[in-house]
Chain A
Amino acid sequence: MNFSVIKKDVILLFRNRPALITISALILLEAVLVLYSGGVIKAESGSDISRQFNFMQNYVLIFYFPLVLVNILNLSFSLSKEKGSFLLASLIPFGESTFLRSKVYSAAILSVLLTFPFLFSGIIFCGLESFQNLSFLAATSFYLLFFSISLCTFTVYYAVCFFDGDSGYEPGVKGIIGMMFFVSVFVLSSFIVYSKGLSHYYTYATGFRHDYPNLEMNLMIGTGFIFLIATRIMLRIAEKKLIRE
C-alpha cells in the first residue's frame, strides 16, 4: 500500500469545497440520526429484541448511504482530477497500478471512516444490548469491510473501463445508468444477505455455536477470499485498460 498516493488522493478530495461540504453534512446527519434513534429506542422498551433487530437492520441500511456517496465523490472529484495525471502515472515506475489502487484504497478508507463509527455508535450508544457482542461485531465488521472494499473497487473499475478517459472519466447517460444498476444490485443483494444472516449471526454470537472451526468462520474466510480474488481481477483489467490508453 502506497501511503503517499493515498494521502494525495485524500487531499485532492478534501480540497474540493463541494466534496468537503458533503462529507461534513454527512457526519452531521449521522450524528443526528444516532442521537434521535437513541432517544426513540430508549423511550420505547429498549429490551424488546425484535425491536432491536428492526433498528439494527435500519442502521445497516443507512450504512450503505455514505458508502455509495463516498464512491460518487471519489468518481466526481478524485478520479476526474486524474484527467492529465494518468500521463504522470505512466512516467512513474508502476505508476498506473499505484494510482489506480490508491483511488480504491482512499475511497475505502474514507467510507470506513464514515460508516463504521456510525454503525458502532448506533449499536453501543443507543442501547442495542443484544448486538453488543464481540463475535457479532467482528463478524459484521468483516462482512461490511469486504463489501465496502469490493464496492469501491467496482466503481473505480467501472469508471476506468466504461467512462470516457479522454474527457476526465465523465460518464455518459449509459455509463450512469449502468453504474446505478450495478451499485443498486450490489447494495440490495448485500442487504438481503446481511438481513437474512442477522438472526443467524445473532444465534451464533449469543453462544449457541462457539466450537471452532465452525461453519460461520469458514464462510467468512471463504467469502473474504472470493472478494479478494474478484477485486484483484477487476483492478488488473482496469490497469491494462489504462496502460493501453
Chain B
Amino acid sequence: MIKIRDLKRNFQEYDFEINCQNLTVDTGTVCGVCGRTASGKTLFSQVVSGVIKKYSGSIEIGMTELSSTYRRKIGYLPFKNILYNDLTLKEMSLFLLTQYKVPESEFGLKIEWFSQFYDIKDFVERRISSLSDGQLQYIKYFISLIHSPSVLIIDEPFNGLGDESVDHVRSLFEEVNRKGVTVLALSSHEDHLKKSAGSIHYIIEGKIE
C-alpha cells in the first residue's frame, strides 16, 4: 500500500512545488496519475520512490514511513535510462540481484516469468546499448521488478511502446497485482492509463488531485 498525506516539496531551482494532500493506493492495485508534459510527474515519482529525500508530509510504503532502509521494497522505473549501456542484460541483472541480496540462481526463473509478457530471452547476452526504445522499455520493467518489490512506481509506462504493447503492460500489471504488488503509474497518455489502472488521479502544475 502507498499512503501519502500532506506531501509538499519545493523545487526552488525550477520555481515549482509538488503538492499532494491525500493519495492512497491499496495493496495489489494500479493507480494512474495523469498529467501533461512538465506537470511534475517525474519529480513526484522521484519523491515517492525516495530518490528525492527532503519533503514535508508523510509517505508510507506498506504501513511504514519511507526511508532508505525500504529501498528493497520499491521498484522504480524512471523515464530516462539509468542502466549501464555497456553491460549485457545478464550482467546488469546479476549485478542488481547481488545488490538486492537475491540469489543469482533466480535470474533464469525471472527471465522465464517475464517472458510470458514479452520474450526477452534473446536479449540476455546483448548489450543494453544495442536495444531499441521499445525493447529497452520492457527491459526496464524487468529490471525494476528483479528484486520482487512490493511497490512499483513507473514514470511514463508506455514510453517507446506501440499501441499493441499496452495489452502487454496491462497483463503485466494484472500479474504483479495478483502477487500483491502495488503499482503507481504516471503518464501523459490518459487513454492508455485508463485501460490499465483501477483509479486515476490528475497532476496539474505539481498539484495531485
Contact = CB atoms under 8 A, between A and B. Distances in A.
Given A81-B86, A85-B84, A92 B100 contact: yes
Interface residues of A, number: 22
Contacts of B99: 2, 4-5, 92-93, 95, 98
A85 B82 contact: yes
B69 A92 contact: no
Interface stretch (A7-15, A108-116, A122-130): A7-15
Interface stretch (B90-98, B112-120, B170-178, B187-195): B90-98
Contact of B95 (A4, A93, A243): A4
A177 to B, nearest CB: 27
Nearest to B46: A87
B86 A5 contact: no
A90 B69 contact: no
Interface string A78-105: 0001001101101111110010000000
Contact of B51 (A15, A90, A94, A98): A90
- Residue of B51, B82, B85, B91 with most chain A CB atoms under a 10 A cut-off: B82
A85 B128 CA distance: 13
Interface in B49-99: 49-51, 53, 68-69, 71-72, 74, 76, 78, 80-87, 91, 94-96, 98-99
Contacts of B100: 92-93
Nearest to A84: B82
Contact of A91 (B51, B80, B85, B98): B51
A16 B81 contact: no
A182 B96 CA distance: 35
A240 to B, nearest CB: 12
B16 to A, nearest CB: 17
B84 A12 contact: yes
Nearest to A13: B86
Contacts of A7: 95
Contacts of A93: 68-69, 71-72, 99-100
A160 B98 CA distance: 25
A87 B51 contact: yes
A88 B71 contact: no
Nearest to A81: B84
Contacts of B91: 8, 11
B207 to A, nearest CB: 25
Contacts of B71: 91-93, 95
Nearest to A85: B82
Contacts of A94: 68
Nearest to B49: A91
Nearest to B101: A93
Contacts of A98: 99
Contact of B82 (A8, A11, A87): A87
Interface of A: 2, 4-5, 7-8, 11-12, 15-16, 81, 84-85, 87-88, 90-95, 98, 243
Interface of B: 49-51, 53, 68-69, 71-72, 74, 76, 78, 80-87, 91, 94-96, 98-100
19 contacts: A4-B99, A5-B95, A5-B99, A8-B87, A8-B95, A11-B91, A15-B87, A81-B86, A85-B83, A87-B80, A87-B82, A88-B83, A90-B51, A91-B71, A91-B74, A92-B96, A92-B99, A98-B99, A243-B53
Given A12-B84, A85-B84, A87-B51, 19 more contacts: A4-B95, A8-B91, A8-B95, A11-B86, A11-B87, A12-B86, A12-B87, A15-B86, A81-B84, A85-B82, A85-B83, A87-B78, A87-B82, A88-B83, A91-B49, A91-B74, A92-B96, A92-B100, A93-B99
